[in-house]
Structure 1
Amino acid sequence: MKVKLDADKIRKIALFEKVTGAAALDCVESQNGRKLTFVVKEGEVGKAIGKNGRKIRKFRQMLGKSVDIVEHSENPGDFIANVFSSINVKNVEVIDSGEGKIAKVDVDNSEKGKAVGRNGWNIKRARELLARHHGFADVSLT
């Protein structure tokens, strides 16, 4: 899918690419603007992080924000696992309903709070990224 970016996100992506050397496809920001997530091309997460995390640390310091990196995948299931990379995803079920594709992500009960995130940031981010990159109507946790 083609992702539409506004001028602010294009500037952030350009700076990200300049600092890290990794190709970014997208950028989403939390509502309070304190957290950014960059979607990078497959195989470029290591490049974005840099040796011992040097590149991503430098970028975070420049912006003064929390920055996450998600590896893109053409496979929706793999992309969902990448979005929830810090959580043990047991299974992903894709349902093609009349209102569009829905992803049901199965995580341990002990990790549901982490999957939702503070103020719902992680689940909102997952919904936005899956809608933008794979045309999903919704993402739910089971």
Structure 2
Amino acid sequence: MTITLSDEARQLAGLFETETEATVKDCLLDEEFDRVIFLIKTGEMGKAIGAGGEHVSRVEQRIGKSIKLVEDAPTAEDFVANTLAPAAVYNVTISENDDRLAYVEVAEEDRGAAIGADGRNIDAARRLAERHYDIDDIELT
């Protein structure tokens, strides 16, 4: 699947890669919540964050927006779980009926973290899952 980035998203991804030396696989501009979501190559999350979060903080200051990082994964199930971090995800099942739905079992105490303030985390998870795995929706169970 080919992901098309806007000029602004490409510039932000390039800036993030230069500042952190981590590989950005996708960049979403979340205008509603004034933030940028970076999809980071598997295994490079530590490099992206930096010691004590210094890399993220430095880029946030430069661009004037908050940043959410998501680590890529080789399977749709692992990918969906990563998009909902830091919530504890127990299981992800992908339904292949009429629509591709991801049913996610989340610890009850982490439902709020999975959804996020004003639904920002679940919205980002849905957008990324659709872009990368053609998943039509994510439902928490």
Q: TM-score under structure 1 normalisation?
A: 0.92
Number of matched pairs? 141
Q: Cα offset for 1:137?
A: 1.1
Q: Cα offset for 1:110?
A: 2.5
**Structure 1 residue 134 corresponds to structure 2 residue 139:** no
Whole-Å separation in 1 of the counterparts to 2:80 and 2:118:
20
> Map of 1:53-64 to 2, 5 A cutoff?
53-64=53-64
In the alignment, is the contact (CA less than 8 A) between 2:34 and 2:65 conserved in 1? yes
Describe the SS at the equivalent of 2:87.
coil
Q: Cα offset for 1:93?
A: 1.0
Give the letter aligned to residue 115 of structure 2: V
Residue aligning to 2:42:
42
Residue aligning to 1:97:
97
Unmatched segments (≥5 aa) in structure 2? none
Of structures 1 and 2, the one scoring higher in RCO (CA 8 A, sep 6+) is: 1
Whole-Å separation in 1 of the counterparts to 2:13 and 2:27:
7
Give the letter aligned to residue 75 of structure 1: T
In the alignment, is the contact (CA less than 8 A) between 1:34 and 1:66 conserved in 2? yes
Give the letter aligned to residue 117 of structure 2: R
Residue aligning to 2:18:
18
Give the letter aligned to residue 71 of structure 2: E
For residues 20-69 of structure 1, give each alpha carbon's deviation from its aligned partner in whole angstroms, at most 9, with x where no partner exists: 11110111232325222100111111111122322121111112221121
**Structure 1 residue 106 corresponds to structure 2 residue 105:** yes
Unmatched segments (≥5 aa) in structure 1? none
Structure 1 stretches of 4+ moved >3 Å: none
Give the letter aligned to residue 112 of structure 1: R
Q: Cα offset for 1:83?
A: 1.0
In the alignment, is the contact (CA less than 8 A) between 1:29 and 1:35 conserved in 2? yes
Whole-Å separation in 2 of the counterparts to 1:70 and 1:11:
18
Whole-Å separation in 2 of the counterparts to 1:98 and 1:116:
25
Residue aligning to 2:83:
83
CA RMSD of aligned residues (A): 1.4
Q: Cα offset for 1:136?
A: 0.7
